[in-house]
Amino acid sequence: MSNTETTHPQHPHRRFAMLSKPDPNWVRSDDFHASFLIPKDDALERSLKYSDENGLPEINVHAGQGKLLHLLARSIGAKRILEVGTLGGYSTIWFARAVPEDGQVITCELKENFAEVARNNFEYAGVANKVKVLVGPAAETLQTLPSDEKFDFAFIDADKASNLTYFLQAKRLVRRGGIIIVDNVIRNGTVANPDIDDENVRGVRNLLAHIKEDKEVDATTIGTVSEKGYDGFLYALYL
């Protein structure tokens, strides 16, 4: 893996797995914008703390990105959301809060111990009634989901080598007009660097090569710079 372990400028005791060092200027900027736009939230903060205490890697989406995902889901009136890669459930909580009381978030997680942490976080956040965690390899789990119960939105944020597999499953499960977002498609620029070739960048390149030929989706990459480094979302509209 091409991650470097580094320290967070404002939380030096916390080890951060990330693709590039956080620039203090970016961190200050994140904090500045969040101070206007993202109120402090006990359940979200607790989900990160509880995840950290249980040894989960700090590779959750950043707050500003979580809120963007939440707003996008609300913007299309999403009632059913599919997530691949639960981790501690931080983004899942953002999604669960975007769907109505009778909505549902189905989230796939490989590791039972991660899923346990996430379920605990959903209970604390008061969203457990809207979230179903499916444990196991997502490539297998997704195949078991029926294609007649469509999702409005899918978020893919799991092992990068399987991006294309997850994307094709998401297409099977998302309605026409729905959105599929894939996290970590820039990876500090490594995806575009011909000198770098690992399973993560290959997983992103395979997905991009597929989408180039896939006439059923239209897509773009939007870079995300945050305290988590330089990365990006792939945003795909299922036509």
CA distance 80 to 61: 20
Name the one range near Mg ion by CB under 5 A: 40-48, 69-77, 164-172, 184-192.
Answer: 184-192
Q: Among residues 169 and 200, whose Cβ is nearest to Mg ion?
A: 200
Encoding tokens for residue 161? 């080598």
Between the alpha carbon of residue 84 and those of residues 33, 100, 169, the distances in Å are 28, 20, 10
Task: State the binding partner of 47 from ligand DHB, Mg ion, none, CB within 5 to 8 A by kind.
Answer: none
Q: Is 157 in the site for Mg ion (CB under 5 A)?
A: yes
Q: Which residue's C-beta sits nearest to ligand DHB?
A: 59
* Phi, psi of 195, rounded to the nearest 5 degrees: -80, -5
Q: Is residue 183 part of the contact set for ligand DHB (CB under 6 A)?
A: yes
φ, ψ (nearest 5 deg) of residue 133 = -100, 125
Residues 6+ apart with CB under 8 A from 136: 108, 110
227 touches Mg ion by CB under 5 A: no
Decide: residue 177, CB within 10 A, 0-12 exposed, 13-18 middle, 19+ buried. exposed
76 makes contact with ligand DHB (CB under 6 A): no
157 binds ligand DHB (CB under 6 A): yes
Q: Which residues pair with 8 in a beta bridge?
A: 11
Query: What is the pattern of x (binds ligand DHB, CB under 6 A) and - over residues 17-36?
Result: x-------------------
Near ligand DHB by CB under 6 A: residue from 20, 47, 184, 226: 184
Contact between 185 and ligand DHB (CB under 6 A)?
no
Q: Does 162 bind ligand DHB (CB under 6 A)?
A: no
Among 44, 56, 59, 170, which residue sits at the site for ligand DHB (rule: CB under 6 A)?
59
End-to-end CA distance of the chain: 34
Contact 91, 69 (CB under 8 A): yes
Q: Which range touches Mg ion (CB under 5 A), out of 5-13, 21-29, 67-75, 151-159?
A: 151-159
3 binds, among ligand DHB, Mg ion, none (CB under 5 to 8 A by kind): ligand DHB
Which residue lies nearest Mg ion, judged by its C-beta? 183
Buried residues in 126-136 as b, exposed as e (16+ CB within 10 A):
ebbebbebbbe
Q: Which residues would be at the binding site for ligand DHB (CB under 6 A)?
A: 1, 3, 17, 59, 157, 183-184
Q: Which residues would be at the binding site for Mg ion (CB under 5 A)?
A: 157, 183-184
